[in-house]
Structure 1
Amino acid sequence: MASSGMIKFTVVLTCLAVIASHAEAAVSCTGVLNSVAPCIVYLNGDGIGPIPPTCCAGARSVELQTRTTPNRQAACRCLKPILNSFPNPSAVSTIAPKCGVNLSFKITPSMDCAAIH
């Protein structure tokens, strides 16, 4: 018969595996939008001037959240509808490069979320 310690260890490992698989399974719009919220001041200023450090931190967070194709597509679907609400929607595409963040997709008002891989 298995020891009680071994059973507990197996249960903990199983729980961690389930949690990890769910953590990578999908990006939430709330998480993406909260990450980019510090960029609103920059975007409302036509994308002119320095980018706030908190905006760069948000861009890095989006990079971490979008490591899989489904997550990149989900983030795109979250971001695309709000881009045209800014005076210069194309300024959003300048954030990642200015922050030294390497997103694997370019955020633009004309992006095709289904085509992102």
Structure 2
Amino acid sequence: MAALNSSSRMTIAVAALVLLVVAAPSPASAAISCGQVGSALAPCIPYGTGRSSALPSSCCTGVKSLNSAASTSADRQQACRCLKNLAGTVKSVNMGLVAGIPGKCGVSVPFPISMSTDCNKL
């Protein structure tokens, strides 16, 4: 999981964006794992840290996949928690770049992207 460690903050922000897109609550248990979240968003790391000026199509594929997979409130909350747990390991995340990823991938997010997202409200 070395790639996840180097991408935590960016990954958290992207996942939080994607997870908040579908905000209808559901009492179901989470089916998404931290491994799935990290794997889906790992291709976004170079862009989100400014190491690449181009957003890879595999990043958008991951964002869209995670958005589809996070169909319940429990899923969104779990994915958010996974990402927040990883947040402290990335020091070079550019939140401005991260905030723009969903839009660049054609995923609509009706809220501001923030590291202070309350996962329990997703």
TM range (shorter): 0.5 to 0.7
1:26 aligns with 2:42: no
1:109 corresponds to which residue? 115
Counterpart of 2:71 (choices 67, 73, 77) is 67
RMSD between superposed Cα atoms in Å: 2.5
Q: 1:108 is paired with a residue of what secondary structure? A: coil
The normalised TM-score by structure 2 is: 0.63
- Judging changes above 3 Å, is the alpha-carbon distance between structure 1 residues 72 and 104 closer, same or farther for their aligned structure 2 residues? farther
Whole-angstrom distance in 1 between the partners of 2:85 and 2:100? 18
For normalisation by structure 1, the TM-score amounts to: 0.65
Shift of 1:38: 0.2
Following superposition, the deviation at residue 34 of structure 1 comes to 0.1
Structure 1 residues 58 and 105, CA, compared in 2 at 3 Å: closer, same or farther? farther
Match of 2:103 in 1: 97
Paired with 2:112 and 2:39, the residues of 1 have a C-alpha distance of 19
* C-alpha displacement of 1:25: 4.5
Return the alpha-carbon distance in structure 2 between the equivalents of residues 111 and 39 of structure 1.
20
Number of aligned positions between the proteins = 92
Which ranges in structure 2 are unaligned for 5 or more consecutive residues?
A: 1-28
In the TM superposition, structure 1's runs of 4+ consecutive aligned residues that sit over 3 Å from their partners are 81-84, 102-107
* Unmatched segments (≥5 aa) in structure 1: 1-23
> Quick one: structure 1 residues 76 and 25, their matched pair in 2 at CA, closer, same or farther if it must change by over 3 Å?
closer
CA distance in 2, matches of 1:33, 1:104: 23
Greater relative CO, 1 or 2 (CA 8 Å, sep 6+) = 2
